[in-house]
Amino acid sequence: MNNNQIFIFKIVVIGDEGVGKTSLIKKYTQGSFEKDYIKTIGAQFTRYEKEINGDTIKLIFWDIAGQSDFNFLNPLFYKESRACIIVYSLEKNDLGNESFKHIENWHNELNKYCRNIPVILFANKVDLVEENELDTTKIQKILKKQNFLGYYITSAKTGQDVIAAFNTIINELYYKFKALSSV
C-alpha cells in the first residue's frame, strides 16, 4: 500500500525592488542566474516540485513586485500563502539600507493578510560585500522582535546558502502539515 502524500504550498517572496527575489527563485528552481535586472510587474509565480520522504511537495513561489505601484494588488497575492520569504539586500548603498529598513513594513503588511505563517529572512547579495565585515546585531534584534524562523546570508549569483534557505522554509511547512495530516 502506498501512503505517499501530495502537499501543495504557496510561498510568497517579498521585499523591495531590486533585492534579488526573482534571481533567488531562479537559482533555487533552475540553478541559473541572469545578471541583467528584469523588473517584476505585479507578481509572477514559479512552480517547483520536490520529494521529501517519498511525499511530493508541489511549491508555488509568488514573486511579489517590490514597487509601490503594485501595492494595491498585494492582498490578492498574499491570499492562501503558507509561508513567506522576506528578502533584503546587503549592498552598502541606498538599496541595501532602504531594503533593510523596510523589512518590518513588509512583515506588517504580510500580517494584515496572513496571520501566523512562518517567515524566513534572506540577506541577499553577499557576493557584493565583505562577509566577514557584516554586523548581524541589527538583524538579530529584528529576528527576535518579529519571531522569524531565522535568516540566511545568500547570493543568487554564487548560490551561497540558497538551497539551504529555501529548504528550511519548505521543511518547516512539510513537517507541520505532515503531522496535521496524520492526526
Residue 21 is assigned to a structural domain of this protein: yes
Q: Is residue 143 part of a domain?
A: yes
Count Cβ atoms below 10 Å from residue 62 Cβ, excluding itself: 21
Q: Domain range holding 157? A: 6-181
**For residues 162-177, average pLDDT:** 97
- Asked if residue 81 belongs to a domain, the reply is yes
Whether residue 125 is contained in a domain is answered as yes
Would you say residue 173 lies in a domain?
Answer: yes
CATH number for the domain harbouring residue 81: 3.40.50.300
Per-residue pLDDT tens digits for 23-78: 999 999 999 998 776 667 667 899 999 999 999 999 999 998 877 766 777 788 89
Tell me the three cell numbers of residue 171: 521543511
Beta strands in 53-164 (DSSP E): 55-64, 83-89, 119-124, 150-153
Is residue 68 a part of any domain in this protein? yes
Single pTM value for the model: 0.93
Residue 1 in domain: no
Question: How many domains does the chain divide into?
Answer: 1
Residue 34 to residue 37: CA distance in whole angstroms: 8
- 14: in domain: yes
